[in-house]
Amino acid sequence: MSRPCTHCGKAFTVTEDDLHFYDTISPVFAGVKCSLPPPTHCPTCRQQRRLSAIRQIHVYRRPSSVTGQMIFSQFPEDVPFPVYENEYWWSDAWDEFSYGRAFDFSRPFFSQFRALSDVVPRFSLMVLRNENWVYREIMRDDSRTFRLG
């Protein structure tokens, strides 16, 4: 079946395989199958909608809070909590239990949680031991912010 895309207006084809797929993933509530309608957007517009939900990643060049060495981090320099380079954060060189606090029942939970969150260190990036890591070459650049994605 051929349909016009409701977003861009281009004609696209909905195949039998597509209809079978929608029938396969249609939910069943209390024994009654609720069929999903065929797509109203073309494959390109559907891909654009899926990709629009991907979070953009910003990478900052900043000093490590423990060594002062310049590192790449997902956190800028002005965050209230310390940021450690990944190797140090995963090592046994610091004591994560030293940040524990006694709960004060006379104060609101979220204010205590915020105070704890402001002193507990975070690791710099959500990546470890990547081969041929391009950021090592970018480190010589003078700019402070890098945008990926």
CA dihedral 65, 69, 74, 76 (to 10 degrees): 60
Residue 99 φ/ψ, nearest 5 degrees = -90, 0
Total of domains in the chain: 2
Q: 118 and 67 in one domain?
A: yes
Domain finish residue from 12, 36, 52: 52
Contact between 88 and 53 under an 8 Å Cβ cutoff? The reply is: no
Q: 86 and 28 in one domain?
A: no
Mean pLDDT computed over 11-19 = 93
Whole-model pTM above 0.75? Answer: no
With cut-offs at 50, 70 and 90, classify the pLDDT of residue 149: very low
With cut-offs at 50, 70 and 90, classify the pLDDT of residue 114: very high
- Looking only at the bridges linking them, the beta strands covering 145-148 and 122-123 are unpaired
Q: 98 and 32 in one domain?
A: no
Q: 80 and 10 in one domain?
A: no
DSSP assignment of 82-132: -EE-HHHHTSSSS-GGGG-----TTS-HHHHHHHHHTTS-EES-S--S-TT
For 68, the domain range is 57-148
- Amino acid making up residue 146: F
Q: 112 and 142 in one domain?
A: yes
Q: 139 and 119 in one domain?
A: yes
Lowest mean pLDDT among 34-38, 117-121, 127-131, 140-144: 140-144
Does position 140 have pLDDT exceeding 50, yes or no? Answer: no
With cut-offs at 50, 70 and 90, classify the pLDDT of residue 131: low
Q: 125 and 62 in one domain?
A: yes
With cut-offs at 50, 70 and 90, classify the pLDDT of residue 122: very high
Nearest to 41 by CA among 17, 10, 19: 10
- Looking only at the bridges linking them, the beta strands covering 83-84 and 122-123 are parallel
Average pLDDT over the chain, rounded to an integer: 84
Q: How many helices (H) and strands (E) does the chain have?
A: 5, 9
Contact between 64 and 84 under an 8 Å Cβ cutoff? The reply is: yes
